[in-house]
Amino acid sequence: MADPDVIAQLMARCALRDQRAFGQLYRHTSAKLYGVALRILRRGDWAEEVLQESYVNIWNHVEEYSAARSAPMTWMTAIVRNRALDWLRRPRFEHGSEDYDLLVEAVPDEAQGPEALLALGRDARALAECLKQLSGNQRQSITLAYLHGLSHGELAQHMREPLGTVKTWIRRGLERLKTCMETT
């Protein structure tokens, strides 16, 4: 992964319509963002489509980045995530729960969850520690929603629990996560 300062500088040049800087930005970030899109969409052709839309969006709105006051990768990742979620939720692409059961079982690597994060930076460790303090159901519903873009309804079907229960896990889990991360 490239240095966040390098990414921020390239983005500043993109704001001045420097297309060469945009090419470098793409080279530094596209593998990461394609990985994020693939994880949510599970299909290469969809992920390519979303990646393309996302970079056009990044180019067109890059001057808004400095107002976002977030890390450059977080800003770009949010664009990709939003595009991917929009794509997933177009009515004709609705999945049945069976698809998701298969999908989720087919990707054991991310099921490692908190442990995999321990090897990473300080922020990641804080998140991993706090995820561990949630109940198993809270942790599972939050990570499945984030990593694979599952909706409340899809989570309820996948976890075989009533919709209201899943919604409560997520809401309480997020509250606890925030409290925990503010104190570590």
Partner 1 sequence: MKYRNDQIREALAAEYALGTLQGAARRRFERSLKEDPALRRLVTQWQERLAPLDEAARPVAPPARVWRAIQQRVAPASRWNSVGFWRGIALVSTTAAVLLAVSLLTLAPRRETMVVVMSDAQSRPAITVSWQPRQLGDKRLRVRVIGHQTMDPETAWELWMLPPGDRKPVSLGLITTHETQTVVVPAQLQEAIDSAQALAMSIEPEGGSPTGLPSGPVLYQGQCTKL
Residues 25-84 contacting partner 1, CB under 8 A: 26, 30-32, 34-36, 38-39, 47-48, 51-52, 55-56, 59-60, 63, 66-71, 73-74, 77-78, 81
Q: Does 85 participate in binding partner 1 (rule CB under 8 A)?
A: yes
Binding piece for partner 1, criterion CB under 8 A, among 94-102, 117-125, 132-140, 157-165: 117-125
Binding piece for partner 1, criterion CB under 8 A, among 94-102, 132-140, 148-156, 157-165: 148-156
CB 181 within 8 A of CB 126: yes
Report which of 134, 118, 120 is spatially closest to residue 174, judged by C-alpha positions.
Answer: 134
Looking at the Cβ atoms of 5 and 105, the one nearer to partner 1 is 5
CB 148 within 8 A of CB 123: no
Residue in the block written with tokens 């300080």: 122
Looking at the Cβ atoms of 105 and 109, the one nearer to partner 1 is 109
Number of H helices, E strands in the chain: 12, 0
Report which of 71, 77, 64, 96 is spatially closest to residue 34, judged by C-alpha positions.
Answer: 77
Q: Does 104 participate in binding partner 1 (rule CB under 8 A)?
A: no
Minimum distance, C-beta of residue 176 to partner 1, in the bound complex (Å): 11
CB 87 within 8 A of CB 50: yes
